[in-house]
Each structure stands twice: as C-alpha cells, then as structure tokens.
Amino acid sequence: MLIPGLVLPAIALVRFMKAVSGRRIAVIGGAQTGKTTLVTYLRDRRLPDPGTESQPVQDKFTLRFGKKDVECVVARDVPGGGGQLVPESKEAFTKADFVLYLFRADRLVAGDAESLLQVKTHLDTMKIWLDGDRFSKPRIVLVGTHEDAIEEHAGVRADPRELVASLNVIKLGRVKLGNPDVVVGSLDTAKGCAKLVQDVTEALR
C-alpha cells in the first residue's frame, strides 16, 4: 500500500541512488546552506528534528532500491567556512565524481553583499582546483536552497531557477566552471527535499 505523501520522496530517492550508484559525491558549501539537512534526508528519509542544532553526519548508511542495497559512506561533515571553503572541501572535491555546491539562493536574489562575495569566492576557488590539480574532473551542480524565501525578496513572481541563473555571480561562475547545471529548491519540508533531490538527479544525468 502506497501512502500518497510518500510516493514522490520514495521515487526521488530511488532515482537519485540509481544515478549515483558506485560514484563518489561531494556536498560542499558555506555555513547554513543545507548540507547536513540534505545528507540527513538521504540517509534517514526524513528531515532533522526541528529546533535541534545541526549535527555533523559522520557514519555509514544503506539505501535500498529494488532488490539492491547501496552502501553510502559520509567520511566527514565539516561546517561550512566563512568566506573560504575549508581544506576538507578541496579533498572531497578532488576525489568526487559529482559535486553538489550548495548556496543560499534567497540571499543572492536579495542582493546580500556578503553572500554574493562568498559565492563568488567559492566558485573562483573551485575553478582554481579544476585548473591546478590533475584528477578526473567532477560533474558539478550548483544547488540554490531556500527557494521558499525567494519570492519575498524578488518582489515579483518569477521562475526561481531562471531568476538565480540570471544573477551575474552565477552566470560568470558557470562560465568559469564549464557551464554546470543550476538547481533551485527548498529543504524545509520532506516534499521540498524530494523535489530538490529529483531535480538534482536530472542534472546529474
């Protein structure tokens, strides 16, 4: 028996795991962008308990699709740095097949100077990593979070993905990084998480 509210999350997780099975994924970004929330959702199929402080995820877990179990390992979950990406982010980046770079889409749309500078610095840093190290280049997806807060900043109804992709910091960053896909969504609800995972999966194909 399928519970309607669980259908989309289940399908989204199955498709995601099929897309990344046997691959390494790095989830990096600044503080409070949703890294731990996303990993917790993938691991536990639920959001972290509301009102609790974000705790680093540091363990192994198994996801199942069909008759196959996929072993997932989170080597470390480090807090996002200030303006710079932490050294552990480079290690994860250089070993990854896929990189999900999370950023606060709502703050960029609002024109927050600190957030704009941080994202520019992060994207420039990833460009340096791509140019300076000899390793297989990961597939990068730029993941904007807090979609639910964008409309109040934008003042107009607009497609959140198009709005974020049109920002100069994102446009220039994409050029430097080889035109990675942009995904925008919310991690505030299970439905939002499922939709974001679904969109990320499409971007990884």
Confidence of residue 48 (pLDDT cuts 50, 70, 90): confident
Domains and CATH numbers, the chain: 4-204 (3.40.50.300)
pLDDT at 56 over 60: no
* Whole-prediction pTM: 0.82
Contact 129, 137 (CB under 8 A): no
Short-list 140, 146, 141, 142, CA closest to 185:
146
Mean pLDDT of 5-30: 68
Residue 107 CB contacts under 8 Å (≥ 6 apart), including other chains: 115, 146
Q: Which residue has the higher pLDDT, 204 or 156?
A: 204
pLDDT at 74 over 90: no
Give the pLDDT score at 53: 55
Task: Output the average pLDDT for the chain.
Answer: 78
Give the pLDDT score at 88: 75
Distances (CA, A) of 116 to 17, 71, 177: 32, 36, 17
Predicted confidence (pLDDT) per residue in 83-108, tens digit = 667 777 888 888 888 888 999 999 99
Mean pLDDT of 181-192: 92
Q: How many CB atoms lie within 10 A of CB 128?
A: 11
Instruction: Name the phi and psi angles at 24, rounded to 5.
Output: -105, 135
Contact 165, 203 (CB under 8 A): no
